Amino acid sequence: DYYLLHRERLLKSGKASRLRSIENLGNAYVKGKLRTQGFKNEQITPELIELKRITLKTTRLCRQLKN
């Protein structure tokens, strides 16, 4: 019932949360990226997440410098 009554607000909130996670390279976003590259959940360690985060930051910085 609550979801049906507040659907729009919850959808906006969820979208804003996902965008923040992408912008800040949150753990959920980075884990999702690793899963799309073929890593299984048990293979994803905190160290691997941090390495992927550094890679994503570097890639973003390179794109910014090109433009």
pTM metric for this prediction: 0.74
Q: Going by C-beta distance under 8 Å and a sequence separation of 6 or more, which residues neighbour residue 33? A: 52, 56
**Where would I find the H helices in 1-67?**
2-5, 7-24, 27-36, 46-66
Distance CA 34, CA 22 (A): 14
Say yes or no to pLDDT of 41 above 90.
yes
Angle (nearest 5°) at CA 67 between 56 and 60: 5
Give the pLDDT score at 17.
85
Give yes or no for residue 2 having a pLDDT over 90. Answer: no
